[in-house]
Structure 1
Amino acid sequence: MTQRVPITPSGLQTLRDELRNIKENLRPQNVADIETALGHGDLRENAEYHAAKERQAELAARQAYLESRISLAQVIDPEETSSDRVAFGATVTLADADTEEEVVYRLVGEDESDVKAGKISISAPIARALLGKEEGDDVTVHLPKGDREFEILKVEYMRIP
């Protein structure tokens, strides 16, 4: 059995929007680009044609990936989760034990992670270390640059934009 892929409602919508854009805009434009390039003569030395064909393969691969991820999606709405423990969809406020700096992370699916926006993949080392923990717990995260210690200040479940 194929494993389901956890994703938030907004993450699924983002994938659907990207797939729609590929089907309705990017692939048709790519077909037009190939036709234009074909009109430029000898295909052996036609860089425009080869670039368009390469783009065609990239778009086809991305479309197949998106279709697969959407079909495997297990939508989990954080707003409908009620727990004191960290799980998929949680927004977790942490205090770094060394610097006392507070950071906020949202645990999301692999396809929707964006570290700059504070969204980390459920499979990231810090997310794995947080799973099942609750407010007040101390957590050690094993990172490539060494271990980091955090205290969980708050666990919330809210809409993830």
Structure 2
Amino acid sequence: MAELNKAAGNGDLARYITPNGLRLMQEELSRLLREERPAIVEIVSWAAGNGDRSENGDYIYGKKRLREIDRRIRFLTKRVENAIEVDPASQTRRDKVFFGATVVYVDESDRETRVTIVGADEAVTERHEISLLAPVARTLLGRSVGDEITLHTPRGPEQIEVISISYPPAL
């Protein structure tokens, strides 16, 4: 997996996803196709049968929602088809930061920050997940515990130190 991290270009990095992230995308796609889209199609069909469509709120909203769902389906289909599933638990070089690592670093103010590096489509800041393409992740990639590095922020350069690196347990 380390070799995969080194050999990939930015285009490939944007396609990385964890097994959990891929599963969630597939579940959303399935739900849209099997539940939401058919329900909206039914509403639009019913509303279209009610006559004048120009002032029919159910019809207008339904068509708008149908376009949103179709756009999301196209996006998810393309992402799932092109995804490169990478399981962080299979990482053999656990002494360095690669995709899927959970990293704790400290800044100049001795403030600790914990982040997990995940795919671009699955990062949720509330869970302290950051995209592999984020500036912080790019700065941390390939680093080891004890490394002091410069993180370029909107406030200017900031020195950070890697405190710990962990990965999910190997299965």
- 2:23 partner letter: Q
- Work out the percentage of aligned pairs sharing the same amino acid: 35
Q: Which runs of 5+ in 2 are unaligned?
A: 1-10
Q: In structure 2, how many angstroms separate the alpha carbons of the residues matched to 1:11 and 1:3?
A: 14
1:27 aligns with 2:48: no
Q: In structure 2, how many angstroms separate the alpha carbons of the residues matched to 1:48 and 1:141?
A: 51
1:56 aligns with 2:48: no
Aligned residues: 158
Match of 2:133 among 105, 123, 144: 123
Match of 2:103 among 86, 92, 111: 92
Does structure 1 retain, via aligned residues, the 8 Å contact 2:131–2:137? yes
- 1:40 partner letter: N
Does structure 2 retain, via aligned residues, the 8 Å contact 1:3–1:72? no
Aligned partner of 1:81 in structure 2 is: 91
What TM-score do the two structures reach when normalised by structure 2?
Answer: 0.86
SS of the residue aligned with 1:32?
A: helix
Q: Which runs of 5+ in 1 are unaligned?
A: none
What TM-score do the two structures reach when normalised by structure 1?
Answer: 0.91
Instruction: List 4+ stretches of structure 1 deviating above 4 A.
Output: 1-4
Higher strand share: 1
1:113 aligns with 2:116: no
Match of 2:18 among 8, 22, 25: 8
- 1:87 partner letter: F
CA gap of 1:59–1:6, structure 2 versus 1, over 3 A, is same
SS of the residue aligned with 1:113?
A: coil
